[in-house]
Structure 1
Amino acid sequence: MTHPYLALDSASFLLPDSRLLLSGLTEQFDTRHTGLVGRNGVGKSVLARLLAGELAPSSGRVLRAGRVCYLSQQVEHIGVGTVASLAGVQPVLGALARIDAGSIAEADFELVGDRWDLPARLHHALEQAGLGHIDAATPAARLSGGEAMRVALLGAMLSEADFLILDEPTNHLDAPSRAALGAQLRQWKRGLLVVSHDRALLAQMERIVELSPQGLRSYGGNYAFYTEARALEQGSAVRELDHARQALQREDRAMREQRERQQRRQAQGAREGKSANQARILLGRQKERSENSSGRLRQRHDEARQQQQQRVRDAAQGVREDSTIRLHATAVAAAAQRRVAELEDVELPFAAPPFNRLSLVVTGQMRLGVTGPNGSGKSTLLKVIAGELAPLAGDASRDPACAWLDQGLATLDPQRSTIAQLLEVNRSTGQDRLRTYLAQLGLDAQKVALPAGLLSGGERLKAALACALYADPPARLLLLDEPGNHLDLASNEALEAMLNAYAGALVVVSHDEVFLERIGLTHRLEAGRAGWRLRLL
């Protein structure tokens, strides 16, 4: 295939309930490594499946020139089968084994084709990827999530497809697995489309394509180029919205003044007519003309106002949601030397040596990032600090004003509204003011009245943070476990803005290095070969 490509030609997609998810998309994807970004729920995974041929468009066409290999968010066959089945090469390896045993079946030879060296290539690929400790026969159930994704990716590469389409490949991967996957993708010389919110991975891409309700927009550069271009567009959109609102206000003022002038003229004409003792029929005709003139004026005003309102709506569509997220300043007692948590020779439950023991002091203005491979006990550590788990040995203490947000946001009741839960923890601030604080976080009056379980992931995180930070008293220690998981880029940026405005102590578990770099950490607690190591930044 000389010029492989994927193309959308006015492609649309209807959900099973007949709602229109994607409308009239036209775009071409060549062999440049491309990142597909967009808000959660906008249809990125559906678009990836359309391009891969997993779904058919409701209207329009999807064109493919070349073979496509697609990996979904949930790697297939984990827990069953072997490494070979996870890599998608089990049928060929089975045919080779039967031929070695004497098979002369035509189907086996057709299945093998020219891939007689596949066992050696698989072994070499596993070695090169740092997975030499497993082989084709290794049960898939023994693999970690990161190993499973990398094996599936190796299989895709061995398939010699012209395009790889990967949907959120770094979800749930620790930092070493993310780095290894990134290295694998850099070696791939053919077409690549990655659906991702991982900014480090997106930085490797040659092009970013954004999906929004308005359609697809291509940015001819990596993630840094995209963010710069997006910021310029955002600034222009905000200015255009401001100008449109000002124009609407001027139009309203001009209309009001013109109506007032006409009403004065009409009143004056009526008075002069009566004083001149004009005939009743003439006064009636004069009144009719005046009313007709008023009607035409109202119609012109209504049309002009509708045009200005449409301009405001159009301008508002260009303004990115979460662009004005603001955290209200809270009176957090954040004395630098005040101890808000202390672990003294603590033995963590469920953690294996050397990660099961540590001592730690968290002070009032400390911002601590906790990093390390999956299974090292990071989430367990947060639970012990929060008092959700008791240590097997040693002493653990914490400030009473401590808020722990786990990955599932279990502290937020999905059946109750955000405003009801916030009023429960803050009885001293009026409801109107609390609603204003929530609106500044992007949670409007309608959203704060919904059961929290009906909110999006980003909205639920904001609601949970609001219940911690706007409580009375506000949390002096905030514990967050992978807060960016499943958040889209805009929600991640809003979370960073909120955390940067928070004045208390912060302990965050995350594999997202870009996120950790942007929230002003003062310390790192790292799980390494020798155990836990606290490092001042």
Structure 2
Amino acid sequence: MSAATTHIVCHGLTFAWPDGTSLFKGLELAIGPGRTGLIGLNGTGKSTLLRLIAGELTPMAGVVRVAGEIGYLPQNLTLDTTQRVDRVLGIDRIRAALHAIEGGDPDEAHFAVVGEDWGIEERTRATLDQLGLSHIGLDRTVGQVSGGETVLLRLAALLLRKPEVLLLDEPTNNLDRDARTRLYAAVAAWQGVLVVVSHDRELLDRVDNIADLRAGDVRWFGGTLTEYEETLAVEQEAAERMVRSAEADVRRQKRELIEAHDKLAGRQRFAQKAFENKREPRAVMRVRKRTAQESAGKYRLLHEGRLAEARERLTEAEGAVRDDDEIRVDLPHTAVPPRRRVLTLDDAEIRFGARARLEVQGPERIALVGRNGAGKSTLLSTIAGELSVVSGEVTAHVPLRYLPQRLDILDESLSILDNVRRLAPGAEPQRVRAQLARFLFRKERPDQRVDSLSGGERFRASLAALMLAEPAPQLLLLDEPTNNLDLASVRQLVSALESYRGALLVASHDVPFLRMLGITRWLRLDGELAESEPL
């Protein structure tokens, strides 16, 4: 890639957190025009890398050079709810100057503020319309729009600025289906440099390149996520064959080393016997013995060297195989018989006016979909008993557990093990450790404090605490569970839920994830809860 086409350069980039956790050591990275999907496991530093490029963090060593203006949309977006929409969009001063001029104020300062941007309001409304926000007035406050609309407002502000480089960190989190579709279109139409961190498969299938951040280095692939995964699957299959071949070679070299030891031991016994019987002159026998010992040493070293080489090849082959373990845990106590009543919503009215009638029986897997602000999270909180119903009745007939978007069910000051035991006080510590190993918390990891976990680890710990709780949950409520999870963590979540034998009610805008769950019924909340066609 030539300097003329390179817009982002990281040279010798080194960064570590204050606690000593190192993310990058001498990272070399060059990004040119086009749409790049930045993927990697949770905790590898994807969001940190974007913040370094955006200038929000300072590297310990190395340099970051960016050609052109940067537009950055962070993962955790917090806006002042009292701010007006036009200020969030960055056009409040120009609007004020325009309105002053239209009102007859000839002050030259107003003309200086407007510059050449006389059509700013029309351009702004066109951008808002492009993102499905045409109903939002410029004089409204942020507190009057939904969380998903807030994300799109910030994106609209970036599009209006037309930066040369656009950095997006998990932009589809909390967006409903329609909003995601509009964001996909905006990404597809982007003409500059775009780097997006996301777990959204549909979004990553609209990029030009995939950059896989792993162990402090980046591997590039020209193409979409699906094409990258197909290539990676072929590579991994070949790598696993190499491991099997290397393992067989190690076993063979071990056998040959044992046989060599046996052969040498036999020769030594024969030589010792000959020495004792004095069949030849003592001087000749000493020379023969010394020669035999030297030959035996060389023979032994030859086989030991071959074994060491075979082990090196095995280590190298194993290093090429990715350790993306899946969660497999046996949860028989969560099982629900096919005709058992699990949940009843009898003409229930929840906050903000939504109404719901619902009967859940047996181990159904239900997807709850709907636009942002329809009340999906409110409905789940009401079923979980965290919010009271306005009218009607909500009755859970089995033990249930609820995992909210904010993942606040764990005590930050406790270890993973102690958090699970808090919800399952009767469980033996060793049994809990054995189960946590199935959730990929092995050896000393269960003793790690929650406040030191990465986002994906925190989610796994929360899921383990819920699924291993006592009494065993026979109804599991999940609210946007794939938010902030990397692709490997999403696969781990799917594998864990495959082991779950109870009823499942999950609110999500992540359609590919819902399809992987084997959903048996689709419900849409839009004023009222109703059956929906599968998405």
Q: TM-score, normalised by structure 2?
A: 0.85
Q: Which shows bigger deviation, 224-233 or 322-331?
A: 322-331
Using the aligned pairs only, state the percent identity: 34
Asked if structure 2 preserves the Cα contact closer than 8 Å seen for 1:123 and 1:135, the reply is no
Q: Which shows bigger deviation, 250-259 or 215-224?
A: 250-259
What residue ranges of structure 2 are gaps of 5+ in the alignment? none
**Which of 364, 371, 376 lines up with 1:366 in the alignment?**
364
Matches of residues 113-262 of structure 1 in structure 2 within 5 Å? Answer: 113-213=115-215, 215-262=217-264
Does residue 532 of structure 1 match 2:518? no
1:294 and 1:455 map into 2 onto residues whose CA distance is: 54
User: What is the Cα deviation at residue 430 of structure 1?
Assistant: 9.5
SS in 2 for 1:352: helix
User: What is the Cα deviation at residue 521 of structure 1?
Assistant: 0.6
Match of 1:319 in 2: 321
Q: Alpha carbons of 1:392 and 1:95: their partners in 2 closer, same or farther (altered >3 Å)?
A: closer
2:196 and 2:120 map into 1 onto residues whose CA distance is: 26
Over residues 139-170 of structure 1, what are the superposed CA-to-partner deviations in whole Å (9 max), with x where a residue is unaligned?
Answer: 33433322222222222222222221111212
Match of 2:7 in 1: 6
1:333 and 1:56 map into 2 onto residues whose CA distance is: 51
Does residue 265 of structure 1 match 2:267? yes
Amino acid at match of 1:381: L
Matches of residues 424-435 of structure 1 in structure 2 within 5 Å? Answer: 425=424, 431=430, 435=433
Q: Which shows bigger deviation, 95-104 or 229-238?
A: 95-104
Q: Alpha carbons of 1:32 and 1:345: their partners in 2 closer, same or farther (altered >3 Å)?
A: same
Amino acid at match of 1:514: P
**Which of 375, 378, 389 lines up with 1:377 in the alignment?**
375
2:422 and 2:21 map into 1 onto residues whose CA distance is: 36
Match of 1:405 in 2: 403
**Which of 443, 446, 449 lines up with 1:445 in the alignment?**
443
Match of 1:103 in 2: 107
User: What is the Cα deviation at residue 396 of structure 1?
Assistant: 3.2
Q: Alpha carbons of 1:285 and 1:145: their partners in 2 closer, same or farther (altered >3 Å)?
A: farther
Matches of residues 27-66 of structure 1 in structure 2 within 5 Å? Answer: 27-55=29-57, 57-66=59-68
Over residues 204-235 of structure 1, what are the superposed CA-to-partner deviations in whole Å (9 max), with x where a residue is unaligned?
Answer: 22322211116212222222222222322332
SS in 2 for 1:14: strand
User: What is the Cα deviation at residue 494 of structure 1?
Assistant: 1.3
Does residue 386 of structure 1 match 2:387? no
1:146 and 1:26 map into 2 onto residues whose CA distance is: 35
Asked if structure 2 preserves the Cα contact closer than 8 Å seen for 1:7 and 1:26, the reply is no
Amino acid at match of 1:14: F
User: What is the Cα deviation at residue 79 of structure 1?
Assistant: 2.8
Greater relative contact order (Cα < 8 A, sep 6+): 2
Q: Alpha carbons of 1:115 and 1:263: their partners in 2 closer, same or farther (altered >3 Å)?
A: farther
User: What is the Cα deviation at residue 133 of structure 1?
Assistant: 3.5
2:276 and 2:370 map into 1 onto residues whose CA distance is: 91
1:179 and 1:56 map into 2 onto residues whose CA distance is: 35
Asked if structure 2 preserves the Cα contact closer than 8 Å seen for 1:4 and 1:64, the reply is no
1:513 and 1:481 map into 2 onto residues whose CA distance is: 14
Asked if structure 2 preserves the Cα contact closer than 8 Å seen for 1:4 and 1:65, the reply is no
Matches of residues 468-483 of structure 1 in structure 2 within 5 Å? Answer: 468-469=466-467, 474-483=472-481
User: What is the Cα deviation at residue 5 of structure 1?
Assistant: 3.6
Amino acid at match of 2:44: V
User: What is the Cα deviation at residue 489 of structure 1?
Assistant: 0.7
Amino acid at match of 1:202: L
SS in 2 for 1:445: coil
Over residues 253-286 of structure 1, what are the superposed CA-to-partner deviations in whole Å (9 max), with x where a residue is unaligned?
Answer: 3223322322332233223322328899988887
Amino acid at match of 1:15: A
**Which of 255, 262, 276 lines up with 2:278 in the alignment?**
276
User: What is the Cα deviation at residue 96 of structure 1?
Assistant: 5.4
Q: Alpha carbons of 1:253 and 1:167: their partners in 2 closer, same or farther (altered >3 Å)?
A: same
**Which of 482, 503, 513 lines up with 2:511 in the alignment?**
513
SS in 1 for 2:37: strand
Match of 1:15 in 2: 16
Q: TM-score, normalised by structure 1?
A: 0.85
Q: Which shows bigger deviation, 286-295 or 333-342?
A: 286-295
Q: Which shows bigger deviation, 41-50 or 12-21?
A: 12-21
Match of 1:395 in 2: 393
Q: Alpha carbons of 1:420 and 1:373: their partners in 2 closer, same or farther (altered >3 Å)?
A: closer
**Which of 348, 354, 358 lines up with 1:346 in the alignment?**
348
Asked if structure 2 preserves the Cα contact closer than 8 Å seen for 1:334 and 1:503, the reply is yes
Q: Alpha carbons of 1:286 and 1:193: their partners in 2 closer, same or farther (altered >3 Å)?
A: same
Q: Which shows bigger deviation, 85-94 or 30-39?
A: 85-94
Q: Which shows bigger deviation, 291-300 or 324-333?
A: 291-300
What residue ranges of structure 1 are gaps of 5+ in the alignment? none
SS in 1 for 2:518: coil
Asked if structure 1 preserves the Cα contact closer than 8 Å seen for 2:260 and 2:303, the reply is no
SS in 1 for 2:332: coil
Aligned residues: 528
Q: Which shows bigger deviation, 506-515 or 260-269?
A: 260-269
Does residue 421 of structure 1 match 2:397? no
SS in 1 for 2:506: strand
1:297 and 1:388 map into 2 onto residues whose CA distance is: 74
Q: Which shows bigger deviation, 335-344 or 512-521?
A: 335-344
